[in-house]
Structure 1
Amino acid sequence: MIHIQPFTFNPFSENTYVLHDDTGEAIIIDPGCYEKAELDKLTTYIENNQLRPVKIVNTHAHIDHVLGVEAVKRKYQIPFYLHQLEEPVLKAVKSYASNYGFAQFSEPEIDVHLHEGDSVNFGKSTLKVLFVPGHAPGHIAFVNDAQRFVIGGDVLFRQSIGRTDLPGGNMNTLLSSIRTQLFVLPDDYTVYAGHMEPTTIGFEKKNNPFLR
């Protein structure tokens, strides 16, 4: 069974997720921890639960989702996974990080590129990779059918969607991604988003004002 532990980090209130199963192996999705206290909170949870992180996996590379990647890589000596189209998005972060108060941002090296249809494995568990661009050009999401959930990043929120006014964003592309990749999932699938509280596919089909 996969256990999902959310953390909300940095001034953007970004959701970082630690996923682990009963083997103790864990993955860290979108580590946004920048301050030492945030990193300590993440690592304390990992240590208290005797987890063994094996990889960092990102939905996309906007600043709020990558602030902690390099620190987590150094701490656990584990690889960083990202879609290839997000590489220029990641490289751009250092050019504007100081404008947002993150002068100590350190750009991580991408170790493995993820693509549509790939699997992310840890312990006895598997997540399927979906390509869901629109908020960011190489945005991906992670689906587990056994437990019926999606780690969706900044694509679909509770009664909202990801912004599309950033470089590489496109409203029509985002709406298409949601309709063709997420809304084809059963209504009871839980969506763990990059911001705000979780929602479900069924709730958003009925109530999301951007998708009626």
Structure 2
Amino acid sequence: MITSFVFSPFQENTYVLTDPSGETIVVDPGCYTQAEKEQLKEFLKPLNVKAILLTHAHLDHIFGVAYLKRHYDVPVYMHKLDLPILADFEMRCKMWGIPGAESFEAEKFLEEGDVFTFGQTQLEVLHVPGHAPGHIVFVSHENEMIIGGDCLFRRSIGRTDLPMGDHDTLINSIKTKLFSLPDHYTVYPGHMEPTTIGEEKQFNPFLRQ
């Protein structure tokens, strides 16, 4: 089961994935205000939270990580190529005038081809750089869905004007990695509404041949 929350002024999508066993992971906890953090914690109360997974380390996707780690004492997984972005978290929050940001450390690292398992659920890891150097996505073939972070949106793509972003790399990543997946797979992005691989192949103006 997948449940989504929209958090912070950045309107970031946080996803909670729950296995039938009750084992649960939180992907990109972007809860920023105390009310948002408590809303997420209340939802997680009956569940067995096992891990926090990050598609990438941009600040709007990690506001709530330190808070969740304190309450659940679970590891944080990410790609090691985003460690420089994570290291700049507090500095970038100050640049944006965002108070109260709490830094944290990632204990575990995921790479292309890894399979993350919780309960009976398996997520294949794809490395999809361009928006961020260590951007990864999580593919559930059983549920025919992709937790896509900020690489592919409905009729759009992730921005590449941020530090360490690269437009050509992102386009290549999407075409070679995401577009190799079946057209009917649902993409749950880091912002805005879900889409499908087939829809974006046909209608995305950034990606049409």
Counterpart of 1:172 in structure 2 is 168
Aligned to 1:195: 191
Task: Supply the AA of the counterpart residue of 2:76.
Answer: F
Q: Which of 2, 7, 10 does residue 8 from structure 2 map onto?
A: 10
- Match status 1:29 vs 2:30: no
Query: How many angstroms apart in 2 are the aligned matches of 1:119 and 1:70?
Result: 25
Q: Which runs of 5+ in 2 are unaligned?
A: none
Offset at residue 99 of structure 1 (A): 3.1
SS in 2 for 1:142: strand
Task: Show the counterpart of 1:133.
Answer: 129
Across the aligned residues of Structure 1 and Structure 2, the Cα RMSD in angstroms comes to: 0.8
Aligned to 2:92: 96
Match runs of 1:1-212 below 5 Å = 3-47=1-45, 50-212=46-208
Whichever residue aligns with residue 187 of structure 2, its letter is: V
The separation in 2 between residues aligned to 1:70 and 1:46, in whole angstroms, is 16
* CA positional deviation for 1:100: 2.6
Percentage of identical aligned residues: 53
SS of the residue aligned with 2:26? strand
User: How far apart, CA to CA, are the structure 1 residues paired with 2:96 and 2:119?
Assistant: 37
For the residue of structure 2 that corresponds to 1:192, the secondary structure is strand
What do the CA deviations read for 1:139-178 (whole angstroms, capped 9, x no partner)?
0000011111000000000000000000111011000000
Tell me the SS of whatever aligns to 1:183: helix
State how far apart, in whole Å, the 2-side matches of 1:74 and 1:99 are: 26
Aligned counterparts of 1:96 and 1:87: Cα–Cα separation in 2: 14
Q: Match for 2:81: what amino acid?
A: L
Cα deviation for residue 37 of structure 1 reads: 0.4
- Matched residue count: 208
Consecutive unaligned residues of structure 1, counting only runs of 5 or more, are none
Report the Cα offset of residue 127 of structure 1.
0.2
Query: What is the Cα deviation at residue 124 of structure 1?
Result: 1.0
More divergent stretch after superposition (93-102 vs 139-148)? 93-102
